[in-house]
Amino acid sequence: MTARSRHALLALTAAGLALSLAACAAPADDAASDTVTIRVAATVTPMTDAVEAAAEVIEEGYEVELVPVNDYVQPNVLLQHSEIDANVVQFEGFMEDFNAANDADLVVVQPVYATVVAFYSQSLTDLQELPQGGSIAIPNDRSNAGRALQLLAEEGIIELDPAVEPFQAGVADITANPRELEITQIDLLQLNTAYDEMDAVFNLPSFARQLGLTPAEDGLAVEQDPAFEVSLVTRADNADAPEIAALTRALTSDHVREVLEELGVPAAF
Amino acid sequence: MNDFLASLAANADQIGIAMAETGYMLAFSLAAAVIFGLPLGVLIFLTRPGGVQERRPLWMVGNLYVTVVRSFPFLLFVVFLIPLTRLLYGTTFGTAAATFPLCFVGVAIYARLVEQILLEVPSGVLHAARSMGADVFQTVVHFLLVEGRSGLVYALTSASISLISYSTVLGIVGGGGLGDFALRFGYQEYDYPLMYTTIAIVIVCVLLLQTAGEKVSAVLDKR
């Protein structure tokens, strides 16, 4: 190595170090001010939109920091270990499953918005038109799959094991499938792709919206159950903290309601 | 340990299916790596500037393919290929359709490794080939590939282990496999014994592959 390239390498290394140190040091600056930072995890729209809208109207003395997480388990793990103060990612049942399995003590503080789920189809105008051997896509996570199967059962398309709690059924709990439908479980993020090639697809409103579909106009079978309202969740030991109260006021403000309405999402407050 | 054995016993059927899915994805993508990646790697080696058969346009196209595919975040590559996958398979879901993007990556990874191995073949081998009057095809088949065969097998082992790792992402399009199984039924349902059991199975598979690759490579090494 020539002396020149060695110098260049040294300079690069130093620059890299300086950058990473600066990145580490950045959060410490905030601690100097009197503002209380509330760290709130969210995954995708409209959760992130609701948190960002709340950040814009949070009262004096507080600031909301959105912690974007690309996963539905980590927001609860982070909260459980006090790395964040709250999250807006789930409905109560999902949180209770997490509590039971992980010995956690998370609580719902405030429902934020309702998720109206439905089946959508390019070719059918009614689920009763589903052909023999038709194809259906449902999500591959347990809570959304349970919701999709429940909806199919209510429409009389399939039958579920009556011993299983409502919304808890998996594909293995289907006891009758008279049309011999091919039910494929796929990732939430791929439901829009499935819409192009399957007879009917279960979908969440935030993804359906990307296809220009709304549950009210395009949904073949629609469900809006208060059990599935996406809620502000925190730890039990933190539930009465003044910053959580401030966050709740911000999340239930008219501004957040307007932002949700613009996205076509019904507010749950 | 008992937890592991219990979750293994309780889920043996499904783990078996997941293993078969991983095996399927690996078999087809490795076949693509050998059938297309090996010739592509040789082509890039031969046509590179200063190479045996310098052909700049050919080299640029081959090199660009390898670089582009390898720089794509894999998940986005899967999404990017969806229209083509649907055209060819009629669907984008399931193990067979999920293997399609994996084949492209297998070809790119292996082509790059082949190029690197051939670059390390001593130049004396090429001189010998030339002095014996070998044409390009003969040079490749009787000299380069023979000289590099041990490294080529070792590189294929490496590529297959990378492909196993890539295949875990394919759960998003219903590809299944061990990684997807561990994520869906272990991680997302908080069944940690099941998650770690599945990971242990993957580790054992990789160890076996690595050992087999080393053995074959050692047998072929004539140095």
Averaged pLDDT of chain B: 93
Distance between CA atoms of residues B215 and B219, nearest Å? 6
CA gap A26, A105 in Å, rounded: 31
pLDDT given for residue A8 in this prediction: 64
Best B75, B81, B172 residue to mutate vs chain A (most A CBs within 10 Å): B172
Each residue of A230-256: pLDDT tens digit?
Answer: 999 999 999 999 999 999 999 999 999
- Cα B54 to Cα A119, A127, B43, distances in angstroms: 58, 62, 10
Instruction: Output the six-digit token pair for A8.
Output: 């260049």
CA A269 to each of CA A88, B43, B52: distance values in angstroms, whole numbers, following the listed order: 14, 65, 73
Report ipTM for this prediction: 0.74
Q: Which two tokens stand for residue A52?
A: 């960002």
B174:A142 CB<8 A: no
> What pLDDT digit, counting tens, does each position of B32-50 carry?
999 999 999 999 999 999 9
Q: Which residues of A touch B191 (CB under 8 A)?
A: 101
Residue A147: Cβ within 10 Å count: 26
Tokens, residue A145:
């799959």
- CA-nearest residue to B83 within chain A is A193
Minimal Cβ distance to B184: which of A97, A140, A193: A140
pLDDT, mean of residues A204-219: 91
Mean pLDDT within A82-95: 94
Predicted TM-score (pTM) of the model is 0.81
Nearest C-alpha of chain A: how many angstroms from B4? 17
